[in-house]
Chain A
Amino acid sequence: MTSNIVEIDNLSFGYKGRLLHKGINMAFPRGKVVAIMGGSGSGKTTLLRLIGGQIKPAQGKVRVDGKVVHEQDRDGIYQLRRKMGMLFQHGALFTDLSTFDNVAFPMRELTDLPESMIRDLVLMKLNAVGLRGAHMLMPTELSGGMARRVALARAIALDPCIVMYDEPFAGLDPISMGVICGLIRSLNDALGATSIIVSHDVKETFIIADYVYFVADGVVAAEGTPHDLMQSTLPFVHQFVHGEKDGPVPFHYPAGNYQSELLNQQL
């Protein structure tokens, strides 16, 4: 058994002829928190979907626990997904189910556990994210940060080996951000799982990540520990980490000549 639970090997993927990824190589060692960073639209979330087998790569391979994901049939992919938990960007809680039923959902669907045991497990998971008291609330009654925590409890309901986080910090207030940040690290260590974080929030990600990949223009532009990357002199990494407005990533979307466009008054 290799020490990497997920490996991405020379991966290419594109929509309608436009390649989003052009030969990406990554490795996610067991038990670590690994972050994938990059600007908006650089295909970070798509990488998670490729790992989960929701889409197929144009080239290259994604291996999860030694198995090539896109070569599995439906049952094989479902077997792999049972080892994964995923936290979606906006939580993606089932709005017709209560907090309790949301966390119980994967247990009821995928296991034959008796209802009394499910009850105990759900309360344990909710307690881990600090929301045991909110078990009877509906998702619409939760704040953004609480919804994210419930979704986290649901993602770890079946004790997965891999937990994927899609923009876990986006749109949260600083306190909730800190709470989620601490939870990701502590749950990772408590479960002995591997965490994959997709984010563009440099500060929080650098606090909890063991290793960081930077994705830009479809390739891995830089990689290393947070400490290395802070010192990096690569222009792109420097611009990203320090949040500068202009640099290798231009402020303007590619466009024609500004002056001629204004004068000719046509597009």
Chain B
Amino acid sequence: MIKSNLIISIAHFLRGIGHRMISRVWRLGAGTRLFLLTIMYSGESFRRFHLTLREIYFTGVMSLLIIIVSAFFVGMVLALQGYNTLQKYGSSEAIGVLVALSLVRELGPVVTALLFAGRAGTAITAEIGLMKTTEQLSAMEMMAVNPIARVVAPRFWAGVISMPILAALFSMVGVLGGYLVAVPLIGVDSGAFWSQMQANVDVRADIVNGVIKSVVFAVACTMIALFEGFDAPPTAEGVSHATTRTVVISSLTVLGLDFVLTSFMMVV
């Protein structure tokens, strides 16, 4: 009796795992389909660009403050920590290189994407989830207006346009923050700070690659946020779970993609 109960519970457990795996794969497929449909119905978001412009305002402009403040602090911390280590080897002038390379290659795109997922991604998921819950998307369909063209695509392109801009701002403001700590505070020579940086940061290998990274992250983060909203069960609980999933999945995807992209770029 106990033995058969055990077997049943193990079978139940395994079935649960299988069921979850299948639903993950199903969601991946559905997300990809939404992505392709979004690309297909993107015409309108450019023909009526004010729709996209509005979303750039909400995803990009409204994220400016959090991006700039975070970047400033990240740059300052980098300079402090970097100085601590570099001075042991007597090369504290290399602090500019350290700050710039960390920001341009990694922290700029990655931290921007993480903040974007938390700030704009959740807003997108919650908004679309609620539009679905309150039948606004259904109403749009019944009016012969395609919700993917009218609601999803403009938000997608707004995200893809906003994120590289935000990432570039993050890197630049971070470097300025690092400068503020390194030069006036610690007393590193200003000329050495910039010249070492310029000698070691390559426009193509570092800056352009950073921009490429942030474009890829933008596509991933925005699409995840849109899909979670679109796929959310039409209940309060469903929308709240979808919002949480947006942050979790976006963060993991960004970090995973970062590894893949970095290893690709290393080879080149």
Interface residues of A (CB under 8 A from B): 52, 54, 77-79, 81-82, 84, 86, 88-90, 92-95, 105-106, 109-110
Contacts and interface: CB of A to CB of B under 8 A. Distances in A.
26 contacts: A54-B141, A54-B142, A77-B144, A79-B144, A81-B143, A82-B144, A86-B139, A88-B135, A88-B138, A88-B139, A89-B135, A90-B134, A92-B135, A92-B138, A92-B139, A94-B131, A94-B136, A95-B131, A95-B136, A105-B145, A106-B143, A106-B145, A109-B143, A109-B145, A109-B150, A110-B143
Contact of A84 (B134, B138, B142): B142
A77 B144 CA distance: 8
Contacts, number: 46
B143 A54 contact: no
The 6 A-B residue pairs whose C-beta atoms are closest, nearest first, are A92-B135, A92-B139, A81-B144, A78-B144, A86-B142, A88-B135
Contacts of A77: 144
A95 B132 CA distance: 12
Nearest to B134: A92
A133 to B, nearest CB: 24
A90 B134 CA distance: 7
Nearest to B44: A109
B266 to A, nearest CB: 44
A165 to B, nearest CB: 12
A55 to B, nearest CB: 11
Contacts of A84: 142
A95 B139 CA distance: 12
A73 to B, nearest CB: 13
A133 B33 CA distance: 44
B134 A95 contact: yes
Contacts of A92: 134-136, 138-139
Contacts of B138: 54, 88, 92
B146 to A, nearest CB: 8
A82 B145 CA distance: 9
A110 B145 contact: yes
Interface in B114-138: 130-131, 134-136, 138
Interface in B51-85: none
Contacts of A90: 134-135
Contacts of B134: 90, 92, 95
A54 B140 CA distance: 11
Interface string B74-116: 0000000000000000000000000000000000000000000
Contacts of A86: 139, 142
A105 B143 contact: yes
Interface string B131-172: 100111011011111100010000000000000000000000
Contacts of A93: 136
A93 B131 CA distance: 9
Nearest to A49: B138
A84 B135 CA distance: 17
Contacts of A81: 141-144
Nearest to A48: B142
A77 B146 CA distance: 11
A251 B142 CA distance: 35
B150 A52 contact: no
Nearest to A54: B141
A38 B147 CA distance: 31
A79 to B, nearest CB: 8
Contacts of B139: 86, 88, 92, 94
Interface string B215-236: 0000000000000000000000
A182 to B, nearest CB: 23
Contacts of B144: 77-79, 81-82, 110
Nearest to A52: B142
A79 B144 CA distance: 7
A81 B142 CA distance: 6
B28 to A, nearest CB: 22
A110 B136 CA distance: 17
Contacts of A109: 143, 145, 150
A110 B140 CA distance: 11
A88 B138 CA distance: 9
B251 to A, nearest CB: 27
Contacts of A106: 143, 145
A21 to B, nearest CB: 19
Nearest to B137: A92
A28 to B, nearest CB: 17
A112 B61 CA distance: 31
